[in-house]
Amino acid sequence: MGRETELKLALAEHGWRAFSRHPLLRQAVTAPQTHTLRNLYFDTPDFRLREERAALRLRRVGRRWLQTVKCASAASAGLSSRPEWEQPFTGQFDFSQVDDAALRRLLEGLRDRGLLAQVFETNFERREWRFEAGDGELLLMADRGMIEAAGRRDSISELELELAGAPIEALLDHADTLVRTLPLRAESRSKAQRGYALIEDKPCQPVRATRSPVDPEGGAQDAFRAVALDCIQHYQANEVGALQSDAPEFIHQMRVALRRLRSALRLFAPALPEGMAADLALPLRALAGDLGELRDRDVLQSELLAPVITHDAADHLHALDGALHATRQQVRDRVQKALQDGRQARLMMALLRALHELPPDGESNLRTLAHKRLARAHARMVDACRHAADGDIGALHALRIDIKRLRYAIEFFAPLLGPRKTRRAIGALMQAQEDLGFLNDLSQAGPRLLAAAGDDPDLLAAVALIARHHLPRYRRIVGDAPKLLKRLSRMPLPR
């Protein structure tokens, strides 16, 4: 059995010329080799292999065919490591070299029952460079071609860095060199995953954050690494949808993932190397800022304007909606470029390197850290409640941020806490965050609505109509604020 450790980077089509002239290529130990590869992927009619997180592929290289079996692994920021078994193909599937007994039995059983059939194929040209690194080599592969499945096609335009005896540091170093100047994006999906997506032809669905991956018996740095990788996966699971779809929820979930990661950096900062949290905070904030304006405009149209149009289909409301949509499209175009111009890849590489360079946990105590950080976040929220007692909108916005940070802290440390009290605390914080978030949405919307309306009296009338529609809820939240502040101030921390 071999183990394939690789980093996959999607390259924008306009970036191939710059890649072909990249100085890194001159450091290769041999001239690049070029192959035209045809790859046939096999599975059962009900996709049993995919269900078992395995892949079976035949690859034609020149006149030879190779059989490869792979086990899937989670990819974060494009980096994956998975076992694989590769051997010459002699005309029928032979799984005798697969030393995972359960997987071998499964494959042999499917083969013997005649259930394995081709489900899709990929055809691409691969150029391969080899670099000396440490006591081994590093491979750089540039793939351009197509995935074909069920009569549908999707383009392949990506770079792969793969270890061939080289240390992981060499892979990260070479990746850093590439992402500095090329329009790259860390790609979490394998070609096989993309092939299955073509077969099913289903639109992407937004993905929400999952349960905390923290091991209660582990150390603080291990906990941070698990949380950070989980946030990266959450971000990337929604990125494909954001690139392919105009649905607002993808952008929202990407922002949530980045906010959670920024919160994790603050939360675990005492257990991390000095300066690590600060070094990563700036690029995280920049990427979140790119997404923020688009999310605000999505909220403006879908949550503030759309309900008003449902009750009143007046022409001036539709005219205002059209003006807002035009501006939103410009913002979306900027975000689309930002997601593919290299910034995302540079951030992901910085995160991967920081996580890889984390020292062993040593004496770090996760439970002690959790107790101190939860108490600190709770104290900040209680103090924010005191500052918001006079009903100042700015103070209520500040309180909302502290509520959100406490909620994320409880969610991250949930495996260490009592489940019933944890669910109760998270539910209360989510409701408070939603109500105060509505006040923030209104304050953000006002200047944008007035800018869209300009001096047009009809559009200004539409803005006034929106304000009147939401005024009752605004008054209710502001009126209930004293009770909310009292409840939050007295809310116990789950233990």
> What's the per-residue H, E or C state across the chain?
CEEEEEEEEEECHHHHHHHHCCHHHHHCCCCCEEEEEEEEEEECCCCHHHHCCEEEEEEEECCEEEEEEEECCCCECCEEEEEEEEEECCCCCCCCCCCCHHHHHHHHHHHHCCCCEEEEEEEEEEEEEEEEECCEEEEEEEEEEEEEECCEEEEEEEEEEEEEECCHHHHHHHHHHHHCCCCEEECCCCHHHHHHHHHHCCCCCCCCCCCCCCCCCCCHHHHHHHHHHHHHHHHHHHHHHHHHCCCHHHHHHHHHHHHHHHHHHHHHHHHCCCCHHHHHHHHHHHHHHHHHHHHHHHHHHHHHHHHHHHHCCCHHHHHHHHHHHHHHHHHHHHHHHHHHCCHHHHHHHHHHHHHHCCCCCCCCCHHHHHHHHHHHHHHHHHHHHHHCCCCCHHHHHHHHHHHHHHHHHHHHCHHHCCHHHHHHHHHHHHHHHHHHHHHHHHHHHHHHHHHHHCCCHHHHHHHHHHHHHHHHHHHHHHHHHHHHHHHHHHCCCCC
What pLDDT, on a 0 to 100 scale, did the predictor assign at position 482? 94
- pLDDT of 74 over the 80 cut: no
What pLDDT, on a 0 to 100 scale, did the predictor assign at position 290? 81
C-alpha span between 469 and 182 (Å, rounded): 48
Confidence of residue 160 (pLDDT cuts 50, 70, 90): very high
Q: How many CB atoms lie within 10 A of CB 494?
A: 19
| Interval 49-59: pLDDT, tens | 999 999 999 99
| Interval 404-453: pLDDT, tens | 999 999 999 999 999 999 999 999 999 999 999 999 999 989 999 999 99
What pLDDT, on a 0 to 100 scale, did the predictor assign at position 460? 95
What pLDDT, on a 0 to 100 scale, did the predictor assign at position 62? 84
- Across the chain, mean pLDDT equals 93
- pLDDT of 222 over the 80 cut: yes
Q: What percent of the chain has pLDDT over 90?
A: 84
Retrieve residue 265's tokens: 């950096």
Mean pLDDT of 327-351: 92
Inter-helix orientation angle 366-387/457-490, to 10° = 120
Mean pLDDT of 231-260: 94
With beta carbons less than 8 A apart as the criterion, state whether 187 and 233 touch. Answer: no
- pLDDT of 77 over the 80 cut: no
- pLDDT of 94 over the 70 cut: yes
Distance of CA 414 to CAs 214, 427, 432, 442, 452, Å? 8, 13, 19, 32, 44
- pLDDT of 363 over the 70 cut: no
Retrieve residue 299's tokens: 């909220």
Mean pLDDT of 96-124: 96
Distance of CA 297 to CAs 176, 324, 331, 393, 473, Å? 34, 8, 9, 21, 20
The structure's pTM equals: 0.91
